[in-house]
Structure 1
């Protein structure tokens, strides 16, 4: 059985190869370890292997891990799950990034509740790229207005966009979905250069990271390929 360190090495090589194949600058794509349902011991093993960024979906589980790993100052915590209003304060106080903001109400709360002693919270707007009824995310048509409003909020830094395409798509359909998100970010940069750095595309997972990188991903969110098959789903929020 391969170790977490071996898996990180393997995924890193996949990222490097895909980046080179796409003709992109080496190091332009970062690995976000999706660590929901994983134990603090597994995260510590990943950190010992050089992994820095970890993405969590369930707030209470994440807070427990933050406490358990508070001696690892290098860890950068990313929140990537749906954000409810009653969770914004702890997200604002704990995380360096929030990838899953899909409405202005949530962004306002994060802005108001972000401690001024911390750097601005890095933010991605989640887009429902395939208009799936079961998925969070703003509609593409609503994105310019939302980005403009979020870009004016203090204590936040609008970095870019995030999407979770329909996994049932073919490779060519996935490429089209990723390209649509990349084009949306490009349009925002041209139309709203004052909104934020707009340098981030959070897209691509274990099975489709090559396609995402080919279309411009800067963060790929990988869990299974690093940690193995996920344990049974639980009810944490």
Structure 2
């Protein structure tokens, strides 16, 4: 695999171009380096290259890396989290990108409140409707968001979606556009704990389109750090 610094520079240039197209400030776009397919050494390279957000999707892989490197960077849990694994997330991960069940929300609230901490959560919406993907149905979002907003220990940071895997990124533009629309609808509720300022959408294949449609957090793996396993 080539140098992460050069990969990161290329990604930054692409983000800047997408922001120019959309009339956005590139400083508003955060990049989470998804390191779930690489080891701790490669993750450290990402941190050394200046990437400050690290994304993991499995507790059994992410926690050992955090134990080695966790004093550096901000750690995001981006995968499907089981309730019995919440304890391992407390004190290690600052963000969860995949909140889609109230049972999980209650467990997060209980654990993080007991620890005197708050976890920033993205509500995962299955905009594309694919059966293989987790997430709320769009019509379920308002009620779920209100319920979660009432829980201590949780801050609703925004919305997250995963677009279908396609060759042409333009094909998934409507998915990102719909998540942006859902964000606007939640803002109309004028709930003090539902300001939902962020959108977590866009991966290695389609991140430029996601930026053009309003993404504020990108989850980038292969384009930044490659794959080892």
* TM-score over 0.5 for the pair: yes
5+ residue gaps in structure 2?
Answer: none
Is 1:146 the counterpart of 2:144 in the alignment? yes
Q: Within 2, Cα distance between the matches of 1:197 and 1:52?
A: 24
Q: Secondary structure at the match of 1:82?
A: coil
How far residue 119 of structure 1 moved from its aligned partner, in angstroms, is: 4.2
- Change over 3 Å in CA distance of 1:119–1:12 after alignment to 2: farther
Match of 1:201 in 2: 199
Distance 1:169 1:161 in 2: 24
Report the CA distance shift for 1:48/1:118 in structure 2 as closer, same or farther (over 3 A). farther
Aligned to 2:101: 103
The whole-number CA distance in structure 2 between the counterparts of 1:187 and 1:153 is 21
2:176 to 175, 178, 201: 178
**1:231 to partner: Cα distance:** 2.9
How far did 1:169 drift?
7.2
Structure 1 unmatched ranges of 5 or more: 233-237
Other-structure match for 1:235: none
SS of aligned partner of 1:135: coil
Deviation at 1:118, TM superposition (A): 5.2
Q: Which deviations, in whole Å up to 9, do the C-alpha atoms of 1:139-171 show, x marking residues without a partner? A: 101000110000111011101100001113744
Counterpart of 2:33 in structure 1 is: 33
Match of 2:17?
17
Aligned match for 2:228, one of 210, 213, 231? 231
TM-score scaled by length of structure 2: 0.95
Q: Deviations over 1:162-205 (max 9, x none)?
A: 00011137444311110000100110011143233311100001
Deviation of 1:227 after TM superposition, in Å, equals: 1.4
Question: Distance in 1 between the 2:202 and 2:34 partners?
Answer: 12
Q: CA RMSD in A?
A: 1.6
Q: Across the two proteins, how many residue pairs are aligned to each other?
A: 229
